Amino acid sequence: MSQKLPATDIVIIGLGWTGSILAEALTRTGLNVVALERGPWRDTSTDFPTTYAQDELRYHIRHDLFLRPAQETMTFRNNANQTALPIRTWGSFMPPNGVGGGGVHWNAETWRFLPSDFQLRSHLVQRYGEKFLPEDMTIQDWGVTYEEMEPYYDKFEYLCGTSGKAGNIGGKKQAGGNPFEGPRARDYPTPPQRQPYAPTLFAAAARELGYSPFPQPSGNLSQAYTNPLGVALGPCTYCGFCEWFGCGNYSKASPQTTLLPVLVRRPNFEARTLCEVTRINLDGSGKRATGVTYVDAQGNVWEQPAELVVLCAFQLFNVHLLLLSGIGKPYDPHSGEGVIGRNYSYQVTSSVDAFFDNKNFNPFVASGAIGMCIDEFNGDNFDHGPHGFVGGGYMGAVQTNGRPILGTRVPKGTPDWGAAWKKVVAENYLSSYEAATHGSCYSYRDAYLDLDPTYTDPLGRKLLRINFDFHQNEMKMSAFLTDRLAEIIQKMGPRSIEKNPRKGPYTITKYQTTHTCGGAIMGTDPKTSALNRYLQSWDVPNLFVTGATIFPQNAGYNPTGTVGAFAYWAADAIVNQYLKHPGPLVPS
Amino acid sequence: MQQSALAGLLLILGVCAACAAEPVRPAKPAHDKQSFAEIERGHYLATAGDCAACHTDPGGKPYAGGRPVETPFGMLLAPNLTPDRATGIGAWSDEDFVNALLNGRGAGGTRLYPAMPYTYYTKISRDDALAIRAYLNTLEPVHNEVKSNQLPFPFNIRLTMAGWDLLFFHAGRFQPVAGKSDEWNRGAYLVEGPGHCGLCHTPKNFLGADETDNVLQGSVLQGWFAPDLTGDPRRGLGSWSADDIVAYLKTGHNRISFATGPMSEVISDSTSRMTDDDLKAIAAYLKDQAAPKESPPAAMSAQNNSMRSGETIYVDNCSACHGPGGKGITHLFPALDDNPIVQSKDATSLIRVTLEGAQNVATQAAPTGPAMPAFYWKLSNAQIADALTYIRNSWGNRASAVSSGQVDDVRSEPTQR
């Protein structure tokens, strides 16, 4: 039996990046906001202090900051011919846990999507014709334009203090920036991070091949910065422990370093941690959310009534909660009907390992997002006609981590352990390099999320089931991108290189990225999207959903910049439209 | 120390019978206790005096008392100041209140202990005292019986305070100093009166009274060193501009220093809520405090063993935030070069911060509240001593070396702070 709590105005489920952004914007209106977070409270100096934050064993290998699969996991299968089994240790992606969410342990690569990414289907059909797209590809337009999103990208970048170099200000190309990016209103808030040696060599090689290299936009700051909320961040120390680690230097943009210090001072804001929302409750009509039910750390069940519910959990858990709450029609891959679980997508990454003689790259000088990239082969920046695939990605020499245990590279054929392995590691530690491509992953009819028929979580709820595999289009793209990257690396003069294009089948046991996307996507048609263009549920208008859950498909960039921009976009719609006239913001 | 204090007090007990405090003038009938402006003025003055710091128990109702106040002689619990008639001061007349604030006498003439800083509050004007009373009258009455006196014998005998008052208490309202600006005089009033800055920042004699020859030169209390506020260029406020002082009191930090420890509460509850004009006045007055005439110690040689060991510890553990040259990061990590606290004659605060970590107070104007992690588990007493010796003698800093014994003293001290 649940105990009913006094009603509040707004409940936010999940206090990561988007939950914090929404909470900041919504508490500003004077309304009372309660954020419910499954994980613990986390604070820079107490939870990832510089005195022990750089512990690869604790954080990288033992997954200290992540959700425990015993708490909640999901099952996985590549296709309908297999029986899905539960993931018992994280591999391909790392579900976040706790206040700050993925914002605590991201690499802080802070990109914008290309203008054409937002009109993907209509753009590609117009340029290449309907038949050019694989038959089972279910890509869609987002229902918004880049121009509409620009001010919200700007807001997120200025919240974070993102370090970068503009390539296009108001339509005017800027030397040294990304010439393919959409027009931005102004430059990044802080200049790019200083580049280590290898990215500098990469940029020179790329220029020689006629490309336009530019510094990767980074949420690990090049210099001290105070954001518009008055919260201060410090310069990155290039310690190399970003991805999977919290930053103890206040230099990586996260909810902790940009928003929470302001939020915790607001008397109308309340965060309840170690509280897992089990259900979004609906009234008898099924058209209105009445609040949420959650379980606290002691196992007590509470009902928190609210006028408005904002679902801000990690992508997979947003979809899980919608399915468990019976909101929206579950997607059926056979009929192609239904919207919850539809268009699950991921990210297609690949790499080139290069081994040099007489080079010293100082690989321990690293940050989550320092590097030089090119964007010639992203999105539709090049003619796909001759290549027989769609999509693309950025590529570059990004010195993302300085971790000593797993950050070592050895040429293929080296023994996996022992004296011979040690010798080769020592020989190659300073002079090898891994460059990477970060490719799009488009959506398909058979890539979706649903509830597992067999396995349940500790609360007795059906686990979420991931049905996913890479498709030929993506693997062709990855081979193409990897070849282009290898050409650049070759120009840097290595002794040998090894190409690692992404190949199928998709496996959940080896880390790739945590960029899981889709499942409750935004769009213009309630038959093919769960949310309208303001991220409002078509079915339950007092429910909004944020995060990469809303992506109809994933572009060739890290998603957080876009996730942050859409959080601001939704916040704006709620504050300036919904609260004034509660109800559907788009007629269905 | 404890024994000699005891002996001193017993002596005084014998000598002193009753000491007349300054007679209280009758209240002006024009005083309007219901005036909103008057109540708000009282609220502001109560904030400037940080009455809540002692009279509000963390987690308790505002001004309902019960918070333990640590003194070198034992523990006192701050009384309930709400208008509850039975347990607060609701039954007090205005005259009772004024007498307590300005003369250290409770209702019925009982002696207050000077942990209640009537030695400073005596400078508050009668009008201001009545405004504070008017504000306190508007609080929600809270029934909270507080037994203030938790002191051991003989300090628990309030009459002992008669002797103390005779020796150390000089009753009298603030008198503006001719020839000084209005701003300076306002600052002097705030610092010497309601602000009671010297309660922490002025060294104390063996009976806990201010050393009147060493006003605001810094003092150790509650396990912290409250720094020197004189114009000393090295360890006082000599290198701070008036704007630096205002920024520190308003936001909790400035280009040099970041408030932590007990000063956090002062800033959060009091100075960050004061007007810019009053903060400027405080700065003007503090900037006019003469520095004690003392020559700085000779700088230690970089070849000294402690200095060399300290440098390596600093580079490995401290420099990522405080910078290789001790410059710190604006708004985030304090500078260590040319920072008066780093060079203070007493290193207690430095040792405590290194052992336990510290959080800069967050304010409305500067909400970040950056924090330093604790090193007690990571560095030995000798390592901390060497690192602090290095920091106190690098980049132009000059201060005495820190010994591992000093670190051990702070480490061993039981603390609830």
Identify the CATH number of the domain in which residue B193 sits.
1.10.760
> For residue A135, how many other CB atoms are within 10 A of its CB?
8
pLDDT, tens digit, for every residue of A390-415? 999 999 999 988 888 888 899 999 99
Cα separation, A364 vs A403, in Å, equals 7
Strand A269-272 versus strand A33-36 pairing type:
parallel
Number of domains in chain A: 1
B364 with B255, same domain: the answer is no
Token code pair at residue A97: 């846990």
Q: Helix crossing, B348-356 with B404-412: angle to 10°?
A: 60
Residue A522 lies in a domain: yes
B102 and B138 inside one domain: yes
B300 assigned to some structural domain: no
Quote the pLDDT of residue B160: 78
pLDDT at B21: 41
Fill in the amino acid letter for A71.
Q
- Write the residue in B331, B333, B378 that is nearest to A51 by C-beta: B378
Q: Cβ separation of A232 and B373 shorter than 8 Å?
A: no
Give the residue on B whose Cα is nearest the Cα of A238: B320
Residues of B in contact with A233 (CB under 8 A): 332
Residue A146's pLDDT is: 98
The confidence band for B159, taking pLDDT boundaries of 50, 70 and 90, is confident
Of the candidates A45, A50, A232, the beta carbon closest to that of B320 is on A50
Task: Kindly list the catalytic residues of A.
Answer: 515
- A130 belongs to a structural domain: yes
**B13, pLDDT greater than 70:** no
Residue A512 placed within a domain: yes
Please, what's the b/e burial string for B171-187 (b: 16 or more CB within 10 A of its CB; e: otherwise)? bebbeeeeeeeebbbbb
Residue B208 confidence (pLDDT): 86
> Rounded to whole angstroms, how far apart are CA atoms A41 and A255?
12
Whether residue B233 is found in the same domain as residue B143: no
Say yes or no for a CB contact (<8 Å) between A232 and B332. Answer: yes
Q: How far apart are CA A485 and CA A284, in angstroms?
A: 56
Q: What is the model's pTM?
A: 0.93
Mean pLDDT (whole number) for A182-197: 97
The DSSP element (H or E) to which A303 belongs, if any, is strand A301-311
Give the pLDDT confidence of A116-153 residue by residue, as tens digits.
999 999 999 999 999 999 999 999 999 999 999 999 99
pLDDT digits (tens, 9 = 90+) for B215-261: 999 999 888 999 999 999 999 999 999 999 999 999 999 999 999 99
A588, part of any domain: no
- Size of chain A, expressed as the number of residues it contains: 588
Let me know if residue B60 belongs to a domain: yes
Q: Which of A392, A281, A328, A346 is nearest to A523 (CA)?
A: A328
* Secondary structure letter of residue B358 according to DSSP: E
How are beta strands A168-169 and A85-86 bridged, if at all? unpaired
The whole domain housing A538 covers 3-578
Residue from the list A51, A250, A265 with its beta carbon closest to the beta carbon of B332: A250
For residues A20-34, average pLDDT: 98
Q: Does B357 touch chain A (CB under 8 A)?
A: yes
Rounded Cα gap, residues A78 and A469, in angstroms: 5
Backbone angles phi, psi at B5, to 5 degrees: -65, -40
Residues B153 and B212 in one domain: no
Q: Is the per-residue pLDDT at A91 higher than 80?
A: yes
- pLDDT class of B24 with cuts at 50, 70, 90: very low
B390: domain CATH number? 1.10.760.10
Contacts with A415 (C-beta within 8 Å, 6 or more apart), sequence order: A421
Residues in B touching A237 (Cβ below 8 Å): 320
**Averaged over A342-359, what is the pLDDT?**
97
Residue-wise pLDDT for B367-380, tens only, equals: 999 999 999 999 99
Question: Is residue B25 domain-shared with residue B58, that is, in the same domain?
Answer: yes
For residue B131, what are its two tokens? 């405004």
Euclidean distance between CA atoms B396 and B417, whole angstroms: 32
Q: Which residues of A touch B329 (CB under 8 A)?
A: 224, 234-235
Predicted confidence at residue B17, as pLDDT, reads: 35
pLDDT of residue B236: 95
Indicate whether B13 belongs to any domain: yes
B318 and B396, same structural domain?
Answer: yes
Report residue A352 as tokens: 């080139």
Same domain, B265 and B349: no
B323 near A CB under 8 A: no
What pLDDT score does B415 carry? 60
Q: Is residue B293 part of a domain?
A: no
Collapse the DSSP code of A62 into the 3-class scheme (helix H, G, I; strand E, B; otherwise coil) and give the result. Answer: coil
Whole-angstrom Cα distance, residue B166 to residue B18? 9
Q: Looking at the structure, tell me whether residues B239 and B382 fall in a common domain.
A: no
Give the 3-state secondary structure of residue B395: coil
Q: Is residue A403 part of a domain?
A: yes
Mean pLDDT, range B286-312, rounded to an integer: 91
* Domain boundary, last residue among B286, B315, B341: B286
Rounded Cα–Cα distance for residues A55 and A61 (Å): 9
Q: CA quadruple B167, B173, B178, B183: dihedral positive or negative?
A: positive
| Contact B387/A at CB under 8 A | no
User: Is A544 within 8 Å of A289 (Cβ atoms)?
Assistant: no
Q: Which two tokens stand for residue B343?
A: 């060079």
How much is the ipTM here? 0.91
In degrees to the nearest 10, what's the CA dihedral of A168, A173, A174, A178?
A: 60
Residue A104: band (very low, low, confident or very high) from pLDDT cuts 50, 70, 90? very high
**Residue A66 CB: number of other CB atoms within 10 A?**
20
Residues of chain B positioned with their CB less than 8 A from the CB of A226: 331
Tell me, what's the pLDDT at B34?
A: 82
Per-residue pLDDT band for B7 (boundaries 50, 70, 90) equals very low
Closest to B240 (Cα-Cα) out of B226, B223, B228, B222: B228
Q: Which of A104, A231, A158, A97 is nearest to A565 (CA)?
A: A158
* Mean pLDDT, range A366-371, rounded to an integer: 94
State how far the alpha carbon of A23 is from the alpha carbons of A311, B155, B309, in Å: 12, 53, 48
**Residue B298 counted as domain residue:** no
Task: Give the total residue count for chain B.
Answer: 417
Average pLDDT, rounded, for chain A: 97
pLDDT in tens, A509-551: 999 999 999 999 999 999 999 999 999 999 999 999 999 999 9
Domain count, chain B: 3
Q: How far is residue A446's CA from residue A506's CA, in Å, rounded to a whole number?
A: 14
Chain A interface, best mutation among B322, B329, B359, B360, by max A CB count within 10 A = B329
Average pLDDT over residues A257-270: 98
d(CA A415, CA A451): 42
Average pLDDT, chain B: 89
% residues pLDDT > 90 (chain B): 72
Boundaries of domain holding B337? 305-412
Q: Pick from B85, B76, B77, B196: which is nearest to B146 by CA?
A: B77
* Cβ–Cβ gap B321/A235 under 8 Å: no
Instruction: Copy the structure tokens of residue B405.
Output: 């014994």
User: How confident is the model over A82-100, as a mean pLDDT?
Assistant: 97
Q: Is residue A140 part of a domain?
A: yes
What 3-state DSSP class applies to B228?
coil
Residue A400 corresponds to which tokens in the numbers above?
């993302």
CB contact under 8 A, B375 and A233: no
* Domain-located, residue A587: no
Element (DSSP H or E) covering residue A348: strand A348-355
Q: Decide: A320 and A455 in contact? Cβ < 8 Å.
A: no
The residue of chain A nearest to residue B330, with distances taken between CA atoms, is: A224
pLDDT value, residue A406: 83
Q: Are A546 and A570 in contact (CB under 8 A)?
A: yes
Q: Above 80 in pLDDT, residue A559?
A: yes
- Please, what is the Cα angle at A245 between A242 and A250, to 5 degrees? 70
Give the residue numbers in A contacting B (CB under 8 Å), as ranges: 43-46, 49-51, 224, 226, 229-235, 237, 239, 248-250, 261-262, 265
Residue A237 in domain: yes
pLDDT digits (tens, 9 = 90+) for A448-465: 999 999 999 999 999 999
Tell me the per-residue pLDDT of B390-403, one tens digit each, with 9 for 90 and over.
999 999 999 999 99
CA distances from A212 to A175, A198, B144, B328 (A): 9, 16, 73, 36
Residues of chain A with Cβ-Cβ distance to B332 below 8 Å are: 224, 232-234, 250
Residue A538 to residues A112, A116, A190, A532, B257: CA-CA distances in angstroms? 26, 25, 39, 6, 53
We report the CATH number of the domain holding residue A462 as 3.50.50.60
pLDDT band at B31 (very low <50, low <70, confident <90, very high): low
Least Cα distance to A12 among A292, A288, A297 occurs for A292
Least confident of B83-92, B96-105, B290-299: B290-299
Q: What is the DSSP letter of A131?
A: G
If one counts every other C-beta atom within 10 angstroms of the C-beta of residue B298, the result is 8
